[in-house]
A and B are shown apart, each in its own frame.
Chain A
Amino acid sequence: MTAPFPTRRQEAWRYADLDALQPVWEQLAEPLTLTVAAGGKLEQCWVPSEEDVQVRRVQLSVGRAATARILVVNSALIYGRIEVQVSLAEDAQFELFATNIGKANSTNEIVTTVTHSGERSRSLQVVRSVLNGQATGSYIGRVEVARGAQQSDAEQSVKSLLLERGASANCKPELEIFADDVRCAHGAAVGELDPLQLFYAQSRGLDPAGARAILLEGFVMGLWDRADDPETIANAARAALRRVV
C-alpha cells in the first residue's frame, strides 16, 4: 500500500514543491534503506541527474562504531529533495556535506533526521546553498538524542548565498534532546557575496563573472575537504555552479 501523500502541514514537507512531487510519489513513497554494519565504513556521492524532478529518500542505519559520510549536490531544475533518516548506534558517526545549487524557479531542499540512539554517537551536517533567480533552497535538520545516549555530539552548519533579490533560503534546526550530557551545536547564516571580496578579486584582474565564480567555488568546495574521493562530487558541484551563474 502506498504511503499517504504528504501535506505542507507536515514540518518535513513545509517548503516542498508538492505539485512537482505528485506524479512521482508512488515510486518514492517507501524510502530506500541502507545499513552500515558494526565497525563498517560508507562514503557515498549523490550527484544530480538530468531529471527536472529528483527526489531521494533514504533510511540509513549506522551500526556500532561504524561511520557513514554522504556527499550531496542537490541541483534539480524544478524540484530536488534529499531526505535522509539516520539512526546511530553506540560510537557511530554520520556526516553529511551537501549543497543546494538552484536558479530560476527551482526548489531544492535537504531534510535530515538524525537519531542518536547509542552513547558517544556523533553527527555533523554542513549545508551550503547558492541560489540565483527566484530559486528556493532549504534545509530542515532534525536531531533527536534518545534517553541514555549520553556524550552524543551533534553539529549543524548552514550557510546560504543569495545571488539575486528574488532568491530565498530557509534553514531550520530542530532539536529534541532526552539526555543531559550531550553537545548539540547549530549555526545558520544567509547573505550575499561580499562586495569587498569581489573588488579584491577584480583588482587582481578577474572580470566580474570570473570573480563571482571563484568566490562561489570557494564557498562550496570547502565541503569536500574531508572526502576520501572528492573528485566526482567536486566535478558535479562545479558543473552545477556553471549552470546557475
Chain B
Amino acid sequence: MARLKLPIAEYVRKYGPHISDSPAHGWDHKPAVDHVVKTHCCFCGMQCGIKLQVANNQVVGFEPWEEFPFNEGRLCPKGVKRYLQTHHPDRLTKPLIRCEDGFREAEWDEALDLVVAKVRDIQARRGNNAFAMMSGVSLTNEKSYLVGKFARLALNTANLDYNGRFCMVSAGAGNKKAFGIDRAANPWTDLPEAEVILIAGSNVSECFPTLMHYIWQARDRGARIIVVDPRVTPIGRTADLHLAVRPGTDSALNQAILHELIENGWVDDGFVRERSTGWAELAASVATCTAAWAEPITGVPADQIRRAARMWGQAKTSFLLHARGVEQHTKGVDNVLSLINLVLATGRIGRKGCGYGTITGQGNGQGGREHGHKCDQLPGNRDIENPAHRAHICGVWGIADDELPHKGKTAVELFEDMHEGAIEGLINICCNPMVSHPDMNYARAALERLPFLCVIDFFMSETARYADVVLPGSLHEEDEGTSTTAEGRVVRIRAAVSPPGDARTDTWILLELARRLGRADKFTYRDNEQIFNELRRASAGGTADYAGITWPRIEQEMGVFWPCPSEGHPGTPRLFEDHRSYHPDGAFHLYPTPYRPSFEVPDAAYPIYMTSGRSVFHYLSGTQTRRIKFLVDRAPGPLCEMHPSLAERLGLADRELVTIESRRGSLTIPLAVVETIRPDTIFVPYHWPEALAANQLTVRALDPVSKMPEFKVAACRVRAATPDEAARARTLFAELRLEAPDDVARRARMEHGA
C-alpha cells in the first residue's frame, strides 16, 4: 500500500519543488560557451526553435534561433528560462527505492531488478493486464513509439494509456470522425491569409503565446477575430467579437451559428452536396436552434450569436482554432464536431487562408498521439483492433498476432481499476496525476491502494512521492529525437548535455527494462535514429505516415510536415487540397451535435460554475515550471478569479483567502476579483498539486467517445476561509517559494561580498 511515508512537507524539503534562479555557474560568472545547440522548446505544442548555449556539459544560457521559420526567435518566458532545469538542485541523480523513512538511494541493478520482479510477480498472479503503464506526450516521437512497443511487447499488457487523455483526445476523436485524419489541417502560415479567425476555447495568449504572432499578422491585414471564452483573456480583450459563453454550452452556441448560416444562405451548397456526407441530417438537427433558443442556454446575447454567424458566413476565407476549452467536456467530441461543422458547411478548407486546427497543448501532443502509446492505437495512428493494421505492425515488430495485446483501458479507467484492485502495478513516465487527474482525491486513493508503482521522472513529481521505485530520467535537452508540432511539422530535438549524476536517458531506462524482462531481441537499437527509422516503417501506409521523413531531412528543411510517404515527397503542410478527406469514401463527414447539459451543473447547494485552465508562467502539472524562480515569482500559486458582482454578493474581498467546495473536495486559495469573467463562473488554474490542486474539485465524468474527463465544468460554492483553512493555505503558499539550499548559500555569499 503506497501511502506516503512522510508528511508532504518532508518530501518538499528533500526533493522540492525548490525555486532556483541561477544559471549553472551563477549570475556573476558565465563561462565561455563551448557550443550552441539548435533545438526546440520543451514546453507547448508550438515547439519553438531555440538555441541552447553549452559549456562543460551544462546548459548555461539561451540565444534566440531567428532562422527557424515558425517562431523566428520569438519565445514565451517559459522557453527563455527552461534551460535552468538541467543543473537544477532538485534533479534526481540516483535511483530511489521506498523505505520506512521515505526513500533510499539505490544502484541501477537493484532498482531495475526490483521493477522486473514486481512485473513478473503481479502478472503471474493476476494476469498480464494487471500491470499497466501511463505515459505522456512531452516525450519525443521516438520515446512515445518506444513506450508503445515496450508496454505491448515487454510488459505484454493491453493497459497502456497516456496523458493526452487529460489534454486533447476529444479533438483527435472529432478529427478522425470528420476528416479520417487527426492533424491541424493547415500550417500556421495560413492564418494571416484568413479574413476571419474563430478562436473557441483557447487562451492563445497565455497557452500558446508565440502563435499570437500569426493572429496579429492576420489582423494587420484586416482580419477580424471572434473569441469564445467565459473569460476576457488577453486574446479576448482585443477580439472584434468576444462571446462570453457559459461553461459547457459550446455545442448549443455552434448549433445556433450553423442555424444562422443556413437561414442566411451562407452555406457552400456545392461543397456540402458533393464533398460531405450527413448534411441533410445535420441541417435538420439545427432547424429549431435559433439564436433566441441558444441565448438562455449559452448566456450569449442572440444578437452577438447572429453577428458571429454573419462574420463567419460572409467571409471568403476563414480559420477555426480551438483548444482545451471546448475539448475537456463530457461532450468534448460533440463540441469539436459542432465547430468543424461550421468549417465544412462553408466549404472553407484545403486552400490558402481556409483552415482548421486544434492547438495541441503538450510539447509533443501531436506526434505523441500518433505512434502508439494510446490504449487503442498502433503507430501511424493505426487502430489496434483493425486486423490489417495489426498485421502491418506485427510485420514490423516480427511477432505473431497473438503476441500483440488488444485495446486496453483509458487513463481514468486505469485509475478506477487501480482503485478497485484490478490493476496492481504501474510504470508511470511523463505524467503527474497528482496534479492533472480529475477528482484528484480519488486518484490519490487509487495510488495509495496500488501495490506497486514505478515512476520515471527527472524531478520528484508529486506522483513520484507515492512510488515504490523512482528511476531518474532525462530532460528534453538530454536525449536525441524528434517531436511534431501542433501544425504537423516534425522537428529535431537535440541532446545538448548528458543527464547529471547517475540519471539516465528515458530511452536507456526503457531499453534496459525490456532487456531484463527478456525481450532484448525486440529492442536492438544502436541509437535513437534507429528507433525513428523503425517508427517510419511502422507508420508507413498509416494516416500519420512518416516513411519519407529522415533526421537529416528534418534538419536541412527546418522540419517536414507529415504525411510524407516517401523520401522524394515534399511533405504535406496543407491537408485536403484535393477536397478529399482521409475516409475511404473521400468525403467529409458531418454529424449532428444535439446540445446536452454537462455532467454536473450548478444547483442550490453548489450554485457556481467552476472552470480551470493554464497560466502563461506554467506548463502542465508544473513539475518543471514550479521549480524556476522567475516563473514562480510571477505566478506563485493558484488564484480564484471571480467577478466583482459575485464577490459582492458573497461578501468576499480581493486577495482574501476563500474556500471553494465541490462535491469532491475543497481548495483554499486567494481570491482575485476581476471584471474579466462571467459573473456565474469562477476560474482556477490547475498547475499545482495535492491540497492546492484545482482538480480536487473537478468531476471524473468522461466523454463517451474520447474518454476525456470534464475538466472545464463543475459546480461549486465559495466562502471565506476559516482561520484553520487560512493558516494551512499560508503554509502551503510559503512552501511554493522554498528556495534551494544552494541558492540561499550563493546569495548569502554575494551579499557578504565574497
Answer yes or no: are A and B bound together in one complex.
no
User: Using a CB–CB distance below 8 Å, which chain B residues touch chain A?
Assistant: none
